Amino acid sequence: MKIGIIGLGFVGLSLASVLGSKKYNVVGIDSDRKKVSTILSGKSPFYEPKLDIMLKKALAKSLQISSDIQFATSNCQLLFITVGTPPSKDGYIDLTKVKQVAKEIGEALSKTVNKPIIIVKSTVAPGTTNEVIKFILEKYSKKKAGVGFGIIANPEFLREGKAVDDTISPHIVVIGGNDQKSISRVKKFFLKMHGNKVPLIETNHQTAELIKYANNSFLATKISFINQIASICQSLPETNVEDVVRAIGLDPRIGKLFLKAGPGYGGSCLPKDLQTLIKFSSRIGKKPILLEAVRETNNFQVRNLMILIKEALQKIRGRRISILGLSFKEGSDDIRESVSIKLIRLLLKKQAKIIVHDPKAIENTKMIFGDKISYADSVKAAIKGSHCTVIMTPWKEYSNLTNNDLRLMKRRLIIDSRRLLDRYKLDAEYHAIGIGE
């Protein structure tokens, strides 16, 4: 069996590399020739732990990389669509890439007798697979879904920074479709890949699509909930949100995961998917009261940080402020929707002098701010001479800051959005999200 994977971002490249490393006959397709040549040299175009090793293994075994959708459509039995669906200007999702790929597959289908199953992994709003993608495929192939090709919705749940592990052992596989033959074949593929330990949920297209949005929106809700509690803690002397989480997390109905209060969630998925569900819900006439509150709570977190900084510094203008951490989470160089970037924008507006550090995301950040801010290649260099250090991303090295290091600062003032440091051991003025003073 040959498998095609169209779109080599986090999801597609991880899947292609994991399958290739297990000797599956895989072809990874991307229209970006530069990306293709980087991948062919054994390097991932973005930072993702373990991916380079997996990719090299896969290339040495059975992974081909190409830009040829016609070849993949004529030769593969399973064809995954894993292109991005970025946010659109109107607060929904931009389906340009998905539609383009569907058109190209459709055209290719019209020239082949092969009957692949097209598996939509890209995150798309409920109804998209059946109403938009299927329509385009049928139009350009002049073939009927369920006869000339199969179509399945199969949302992805991997996390950036854990993409390889999550591809190897996902917590769930969701298969959405309406022709039993395609569902059974895709089910067989995943059973072979993961064994029968991974729960497999079989449903229709639109439910599969909704599951993805419900999943990410619930995660966003957990984070906003705990951030709301964190705000309350900040106004209650001697309280720490960590103690609250330790207790409520022991209630099995709540659980302890995804309850880390912080600067607010970022990244290319949680904010976008929540926003899409808000829009979708409104479009079908269901007022998204809770979802809007989740979004608003998240947006407030950066203001919460600004208030902490302002109260502690009094004057921001001309002050040298060190920002530790730029990526939206540790283990990643991704700065999409990163709260650090939003905070830097606000501080620049107030005419602060910004110096930043991040183990992986400096290059991406340079593309946004250029020479408007300074970049440090070590944590010590970042905090030297500064009036305030703000910890944003929970990279391990920031937990190791010592009192000796802090003496490099002009004023020993720490704003800790992730509570990485122990305020009782610090010889510094310390303010944190979720800690009452």
Q: Does 104 bind ligand UGA (CB under 6 A)?
A: no
- For ligand UGA, the closer of residues 129 and 386 by Cβ is 129
Query: Residue 328 or 375: which CB sits closer to ligand UGA?
Result: 328
The nearest distance, CB 264 to ligand UGA, in angstroms, is: 7
Closest to ligand UGA by CB, 212 vs 320, is 212
How many angstroms separate the CA atoms of 329 and 162, rounded?
11
> Is residue 245 a contact residue for ligand UGA (CB under 6 A)?
no
Question: Does the footprint of ligand UGA cover residue 259 (CB under 6 A)?
Answer: yes
Q: Which is nearer to ligand UGA, 145 or 435 (CB)?
A: 435
**Least CB distance to ligand UGA at residue 209 (A):** 12
Chain CA centroid to CA 30, Å: 20
Does 219 bind ligand UGA (CB under 6 A)? Our answer is yes
Size of the site for ligand UGA (CB under 6 A): 20
Instruction: Closer to ligand UGA by CB, 102 or 230: give it.
Output: 230
* Alpha-helix runs per DSSP H in 249-329: 270-283, 289-313
With binding defined as CB under 6 A, does residue 223 bind ligand UGA?
Answer: yes
Q: Is the distance from CB of 397 to CB of 374 less than 8 angstroms?
A: no
Residue in the structure block whose two tokens are 């999550």: 166
Between CA 316 and CA 29 the distance in angstroms is 49
For the bound state, the minimum distance from the C-beta of residue 141 to ligand UGA, rounded and expressed in Å, comes to 29
Contact region for ligand UGA (CB under 6 A) — 42-50, 157-165, 310-318, 423-431?
A: 157-165
Q: Which of 157, 190, 300, 369 binds ligand UGA (CB under 6 A)?
A: 157
Q: 266 Cβ partners below 8 Å, 6+ apart?
A: 328, 329, 336, 337, 338, 339
Task: Of 437, 225, 239, 348, give the one whose Cα is nearest residue 415.
Answer: 437
Q: Which is nearer to ligand UGA, 42 or 170 (CB)?
A: 170
Q: Which of 76, 233, 269, 388 is catalytic?
A: 269
User: Could you tell me the CA-to-CA distances from 259 to 15, 221, 321 in Å, in that order?
Assistant: 28, 10, 28
SS3 364: helix
Three state DSSP letters for 65-108 = EECCHHHHHHHCCEEEECCCCCECCCCCECCHHHHHHHHHHHHH
Q: Following DSSP, what letter does each residue of 127-188 receive, concatenated?
A: THIIIIIHHHHHHHH---BTTTBEEEE----PPTTSHHHHHHS-S-EEEE-S-HHHHHHHHH
Q: With contact defined as beta carbons under 8 Å apart, do 326 and 339 qualify? A: no
- x-or-dash string of contact with ligand UGA, 366-405, rule CB under 6 A: ----------------------------------------
Tell me the closest approach of the beta carbon of residue 6 to ligand UGA, in angstroms: 17
CB of 198 to ligand UGA, least distance (A): 14
Looking at residue 284, the DSSP 8-state letter turns out to be T
Straight-line distance from the first to the last Cα atom of the chain, in angstroms, rounded to the nearest whole number: 62
Residue 70 CB-density burial (10 A; 0-12 exposed, 13-18 middle, 19+ buried): middle
388 flagged as catalytic:
no
The C-alpha atoms of residue 133 and residue 124 are separated, in whole angstroms, by 10
Contact with ligand UGA (CB under 6 A): which of 103, 159, 194, 423? 159
Closer to ligand UGA by Cβ: residue 219 or 321: 219
Q: Note whether 270 binds ligand UGA by CB under 6 A.
A: yes
Beta-carbon contacts of 369 under 8 Å, excluding residues fewer than 6 positions away, are 344, 348, 354
Site residues (CB under 6 A) for ligand UGA, limited to 316-345: 328-329
* Contact call for residue 216 and ligand UGA (CB under 6 A): yes
With contacts defined by CB under 6 A, name the span among 14-22, 155-163, 283-291, 340-348 that binds ligand UGA. Answer: 155-163
Q: Which of residues 19-78 bind ligand UGA (CB under 6 A)?
A: none
Site membership for ligand UGA, residue 434 (CB under 6 A):
no
Among the listed ranges 39-47, 87-95, 154-162, 180-188, the one in contact with ligand UGA (CB under 6 A) is 154-162
Instruction: Tell me which of 9, 116, 148, 266 binds ligand UGA, using CB under 6 A.
Output: 266
Nearer to ligand UGA, 68 or 330 (CB): 330
Tokens of 115: 């009957």
Q: How far is the CB of 392 from ligand UGA (least distance, A)?
A: 9
Q: Name the residue nearer to ligand UGA (CB basis): 73 or 393.
A: 393
Kindly write down the DSSP assignment for every residue of 15-67, as one continuous string. Answer: HHHHHHHTT-EEEEE-S-HHHHHHHHTT--SS--TTHHHHHHHHHHHTEEEES
| 267 in contact with ligand UGA (CB under 6 A) | yes
Contact positions toward ligand UGA, by CB under 6 A?
A: 123, 156-160, 216, 219, 223, 258-260, 262, 265-267, 269-270, 328-329
The catalytic site residues sit at 269
